[in-house]
């Protein structure tokens, strides 16, 4: 269809694939806000159908709208925009490609799909001059994709860092506040509906890495996939780590960090990484509690911008999805399209070993003379400068907590391997980065 055909009597047809947490809220908004949406778009939005896996469940929907044949729904001539809210990768990929290649715009919240297949999907959208929008894929309700792609299109972004996974932020916030261990708080996250039956994607950082890949791609005009993102999860964090962090005036957060890194050859590279890190209590990200998300963008001219809000949940995520639906529908009505994928910079990925940060190293040691100097000697030997050392506990329970100045990941890894060989170091119990402080 061409733009000129849409108007008061010619609706923009919308198909919703998936009627789960997010899909059901999108349908609710489409049905409750008919008049407002028509005014904003310039033509009515007509819900053509809803694809589900199990059509036998009573969901209080008009049975004529419900289908298990998502492919047939996507291919209907009266569908102009496909909203993909099924999740997973293979089926959504097939459906989204089918939609784009038949000239329909697509809105999706699917970060797993985008972090693996953005290139292919963007090319399919390009070939048919249609929109591929995904505001809800990163940080739920929080507008961050559109600010990066449009509001900051005239600026140069240096860093995008934040908390983009609500489940892990809930767990870490609860551990910090109550002193409870990881297992207890994970169970509580499950009881509250944050953690899924298989929480691996959240707690091992896969979800945050997929979001980091999307953020890095758009912030730095390059294609970055989830496999380019260095990833560490939170399942090894202990109450003892929090005790040590608190003693240093810090808390622990799972951070997604995307940075433009100057390199010796003169051409910038990209670092994209996800890991739990100590963050000073005074840092804005330290105060982001519960299942909330926040993203801090640093741009050359705009300076520092912070985006904060609900990063998950049916209604908040549906808000972002509907923003994209309205934009895609307006573009249909006006006969145009939104911004294309921007990948002109084509920057390379910097390996994690090259990335300098400060570190916090917690080790169990024998409590006797000479231990501290031997430990300090290993740091010196590998060119890692120590900022502070604390002893916690005594006798067999003695621990040394070392905070370093900035060091490369490779120098720190070599130091830790050497420490593990020392006879009076019983164990290096944790190694975490320290972010958000002057180096």
Residues designated catalytic: 211
Pick 293 or 430: Cβ nearer ligand NDP = 293
Cα–Cα distance for residue pair 277/434, rounded to 1 Å: 5
Q: Which is nearer to ligand NDP, 211 or 337 (CB)?
A: 211
Distance of closest approach, residue 260 Cβ to ligand HSE, in angstroms: 25
Indicate which single residue of 105, 118, 165, 251 sits in contact with ligand HSE (rule: CB under 6 A). 165
| Residue among 85 and 250 whose Cβ is closer to ligand NDP | 85
Q: Which two tokens stand for residue 243?
A: 């005790």
- C-alpha 230/C-alpha 224 separation (Å) is 12
Residues between 282 and 341 that touch ligand HSE (CB under 6 A): 311-312
Flag whether 74 is marked binding: no
| Site of interaction with ligand NDP (CB under 6 A) | 18-23, 51-54, 70, 85-87, 91, 109-111, 136, 140, 312-313, 317
Pick one of ligand NDP, ligand HSE, none as the site partner of residue 162 (Cβ within 5 to 8 A by kind).
none
Among 331, 297, 309, residue whose Cα is nearest residue 219: 297
Q: Which is nearer to ligand HSE, 79 or 96 (CB)?
A: 96
322 binds, among ligand HSE, ligand NDP, none (CB under 5 to 8 A by kind): none
Residue 181 CB contacts under 8 Å (≥ 6 apart), including other chains: 175, 238, 239
Q: Which does 222 bind (CB under 5 to 8 A by kind): ligand HSE, ligand NDP, none?
A: none
Q: Is residue 361 marked as binding?
A: no
Sequence-distant (6+) residues with CB within 8 A of 65 are 47, 48, 49, 50
In the complex, what is the shortest distance from the CB of residue 266 to ligand HSE, in angstroms, rounded to a whole number? Answer: 37
- Closest contact distance (angstroms) between CB of 381 and ligand HSE is 41
* Gap between the Cα atoms of 423 and 413, Å rounded: 18
* Rounded least distance, CB 102 to ligand HSE, Å: 28
Query: 253 among the known binding-site residues?
Result: no
Measured distance CA(256)–CA(297) in Å, rounded: 12
111 is in an annotated binding site: yes
- Residue 37 or 320: which CB sits closer to ligand HSE? 320
Burial class (CB in 10 A: 0-12, 13-18, 19+), 207: buried
Min separation Cβ 259 and ligand NDP, Å = 24
Stretch that binds ligand HSE, among 69-77, 161-169, 173-181, 270-278 (CB under 6 A): 161-169
Nearer to ligand HSE, 95 or 141 (CB): 141
Instruction: Name which of ligand NDP, ligand HSE, none residue 202 binds, using a CB cut-off of 5 to 8 Å depending on partner kind.
Output: ligand HSE
What one-character-per-residue DSSP string does 109-143 give? --HHHHHHHHHHHHHHHHHHT--EE-GGGTTTTS-
Query: Nearest 5 degrees, angle CA 175-CA 180-CA 185?
Result: 70
Told to check if 167 binds ligand HSE by CB under 6 A, we report yes
Rounded CA separation 302/297 (Å): 9
Q: Can you read off the two tokens belonging to residue 242?
A: 């929090």
User: Which residue, 272, 315, 316, is CA-closest to 293?
Assistant: 316
Q: Which is nearer to ligand NDP, 211 or 399 (CB)?
A: 211
Position of minimal CB gap to ligand NDP: 20
Interaction of residue 207 with ligand HSE, rule CB under 6 A: yes
Question: Is 24 annotated among the ligand-binding residues?
Answer: yes
CB of 210 to ligand HSE, least distance (A): 9
What residues between 88 and 147 interact with ligand HSE by CB under 6 A?
140
Angle at CA 297, nearest 5°, toward 293 and 298? 150
CB atoms within 10 A of CB 405: 14
* Contacted entry of ligand HSE, ligand NDP, none for residue 276, CB cut-off 5 to 8 Å set by kind: none
Q: For residue 23, say whether it is annotated as part of any ligand binding site.
A: yes
CB 338 within 8 A of CB 331: yes
Beta-strand ranges (E) seen in 64-216 are 66-67, 81-84, 105-108, 132-133, 157-163
- Shortest distance in whole angstroms from residue 250 CB to ligand NDP: 28
Whole-angstrom CA distances from 92 to 88, 113, 152, 198 are 7, 7, 30, 20
Residues that bind ligand HSE (CB under 6 A): 140, 165-167, 194, 202, 207, 311-312
Binding residues for NADP(+): 17-24
Binding residues: 17-24, 111, 196
């Amino acid at each position: 269809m061409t733009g000129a055909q849409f108007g008061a009597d010619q609706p923009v047809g919308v198909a919703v694939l998936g009627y789960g947490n997010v899909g059901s809220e999108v349908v609710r908004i489409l049905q409750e806000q008919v008049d407002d949406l028509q005014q904003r778009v310039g033509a009515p939005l007509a819900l053509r159908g809803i694809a589900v896996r199990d059509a036998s469940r009573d969901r209080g929907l008009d049975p004529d709208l419900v289908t298990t044949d998502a492919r047939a729904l996507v291919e209907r001539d009266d569908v102009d925009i496909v909203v993909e809210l099924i999740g997973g990768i293979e089926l959504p990929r097939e459906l989204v490609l089918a939609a784009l290649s038949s000239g329909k715009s697509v809105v999706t919240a699917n970060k797993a799909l985008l972090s693996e297949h953005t290139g292919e999907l963007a090319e399919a959208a390009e070939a048919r001059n249609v929109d591929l929008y995904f505001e809800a894929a990163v940080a739920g309700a929080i507008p961050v994709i559109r600010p990066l792609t449009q509001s900051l299109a005239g600026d140069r972004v240096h860093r995008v860092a934040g908390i983009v996974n609500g489940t892990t932020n809930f767990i870490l916030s609860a551990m910090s506040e109550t002193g409870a261990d990881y297992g207890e708080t994970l169970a509580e996250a499950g009881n509250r509906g944050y953690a899924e039956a298989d929480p691996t994607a959240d707690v091992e950082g896969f979800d945050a890495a997929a979001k980091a890949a999307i953020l890095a791609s758009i912030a730095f005009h390059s294609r970055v996939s989830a496999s380019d993102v260095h990833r560490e999860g939170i399942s090894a964090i202990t109450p003892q780590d929090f005790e040590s962090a608190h003693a240093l005036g810090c808390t622990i957060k799972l951070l997604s960090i995307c940075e433009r890194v100057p390199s010796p050859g003169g051409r910038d590279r990209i670092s994209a990484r996800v890991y739990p890190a100590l963050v000073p209590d005074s840092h804005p990200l330290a105060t982001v509690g519960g299942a909330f998300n926040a993203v801090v963008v640093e741009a050359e001219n705009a300076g520092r911008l912070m985006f904060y809000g609900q990063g998950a949940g049916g209604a908040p995520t549906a808000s972002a999805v509907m923003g994209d639906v309205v934009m895609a529908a307006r573009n249909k009505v006006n006969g145009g399209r939104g911004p294309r994928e921007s990948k002109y910079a084509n920057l390379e990925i910097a390996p994690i070993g090259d990335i300098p940060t400060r570190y916090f190293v917690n080790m169990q040691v024998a409590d006797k003379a000479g231990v501290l100097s031997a430990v300090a000697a290993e740091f010196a030997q590998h060119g890692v400068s120590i900022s502070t050392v604390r002893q916690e506990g005594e006798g067999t329970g003695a621990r040394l907590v070392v905070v370093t100045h900035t060091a490369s990941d490779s120098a720190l890894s070599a130091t830790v391997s050497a420490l593990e060989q020392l006879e009076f170091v019983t164990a290096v119990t944790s190694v975490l980065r320290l972010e958000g402080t002057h180096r």
